[in-house]
Amino acid sequence: MQNILDDIKIIADLAVKEDLGTGDITSMLTIDAHHLSEGKIIAKADGIISGMLVVDYLLRTYTTVKYEILRNDGDFATTGETVMRLKGTTIEILSYERVMLNFLQHLSGIATYTNEFVMKVANYGCKVLDTRKTLPGMRKLEKKAVLDGRGINHRMGLYAAVLIKENHILAAGSITKAYKKIKASSAYHDLHSNPEFFIQIECEDLSQVRESCHLGVDEILLDNMSHEMMQEAITLIRNLSPKTSIEVSGNVSLESVVDIARLRPDRISIGKITHSAPVLDLSLLLDDILIV
């Protein structure tokens, strides 16, 4: 993923400044500066690891701690399994423990949650996508976590592709007017040379689906439709514009995703895999004492 190391430096440096400030006063006042410890980070639940790139940066940049990564990003860890070993000054380990775990738990949670959806739809030939519903400053890391969980990234930002949504349609006057204005622009011809570029139209009802099909758009996004309307819309698209890819979104849950997948869309985009993923429970153990 382009320039992710630059993003890691920015967000990790900010996290250290935020948490550590002038230093871990509790550890400095209670522990000898030369005291050494061995520690390990363990998984307290089954899941997929993500965020080790950030932990690696933190330890390399800010500490003299020696460490061994036993589970890399994208690897599955079982409950009780050691994912990293550490050895160094006790103060350093304790000072960076929370920052390391914050990244590791959050990103591993996204990877694990993403994979739950991926496994649910594995037999139906559709892909699980993320959205732009990410924490500010964390987009590349959270989208990498989606990849670690075997999901697919949607556009990285507004600059990456055209997605005509409700407010664009309202401002332009119609789907057709918005689409034709894009196709007629000089910028479109430059963008169209990029093989990853696409035009997608978000549809909320069947009339919008028909209009988009007659335009022969690259992709149609069925947003917040009832199951019955979604089924009818997919049939329409397959018949009227068979080359158009179909994406479904809107309040998709682990309970509903299989029923959606059975309708055979090409992709299902799920905002909650980034904005509402539960953390993966990971802990740092130091000399058999749980650090909380």
Given 44, 87, 133, 262, the catalytic residue = 133
pLDDT of residue 289: 56
Active-site pick, 85, 132, 150, 165: 165
pLDDT digits over 138-179, tens only? Answer: 999 999 999 999 999 999 999 888 999 999 999 999 999 999
150 in the same domain as 89: no
Residue 127 annotated as catalytic: no
- Tell whether 11 and 76 lie within a shared domain: yes
| Per-residue pLDDT reduced to its tens digit, 92-134 | 999 999 999 999 999 999 999 999 999 999 999 999 999 999 9
Are residues 215 and 234 in contact, defined by beta-carbon separation less than 8 angstroms?
no
Are 112 and 242 in the same domain?
no
Distance CA 181, CA 184 (A): 5
- Distance CA(280)–CA(266), nearest Å, equals 29
Could you tell me if 33 and 44 lie in one domain?
yes
Pair 217, 176 in one domain: yes
Same domain as 102, residue 9 = yes
Q: In the chain, pLDDT over 70 holds for what percent of residues?
A: 98
pLDDT at 120: 97
Using one digit for the tens of pLDDT, what is the confidence trace for 185-231? 888 877 777 777 889 999 999 999 999 999 999 999 999 999 999 99
Domain total in the chain: 2
What's the pLDDT at 288? Answer: 55
Q: What is the pLDDT of residue 1?
A: 54
Pair (132, 269) in one structural domain: yes
231-235: average pLDDT: 98
pLDDT at residue number 7: 95
- For the question of residue 73 being annotated catalytic, the response is no
Is 165 known to be catalytic? yes
Of 44, 85, 87, 98, which is the active-site residue? Answer: 98
Catalytic residue among 73, 142, 223, 247: 223
**19 is annotated as an active-site residue:** no
Spell out the residues 6+ positions from residue 16 whose beta carbon is closer than 8 angstroms to its own.
58, 62, 96, 99
Average pLDDT over residues 263-267: 97
* Other C-beta atoms lying within 10 Å of the C-beta of residue 107: 30
Q: Are residues 60 and 126 both part of a single domain?
A: no
For the domain that residue 25 is a member of, what is the CATH number?
3.90.1170.20
Instruction: DSSP letter for 64, please.
Output: -
Q: Which CATH number belongs to the domain containing residue 130 in this structure?
A: 3.20.20.70
In angstroms, rounded to a whole number, what is the distance separating the alpha carbons of residues 182 and 244? 18
Do residue 129 and residue 250 come from a single domain? yes
Determine which one of 7, 148, 202, 219 is catalytic.
202
199 vs 221: CA distance, rounded Å: 10
Report the half-sphere exposure of 198 (CA within 13 A, side-chain side): 19
Are 109 and 149 contained in the same domain?
no
Residue 292 predicted with pLDDT over 60: no
How confident is the prediction for the chain on average, in pLDDT? 94
Q: Are residues 264 and 137 in the same domain?
A: yes
Q: Is 267 in the active site?
A: no
Same domain, 125 and 266: yes
Nearest CA to 27 out of 115, 119, 94 is that of: 94
Range of the domain at 125: 121-275
Residue 188, Cβ neighbours under 10 Å: how many? 15
Average pLDDT over residues 63-70: 97
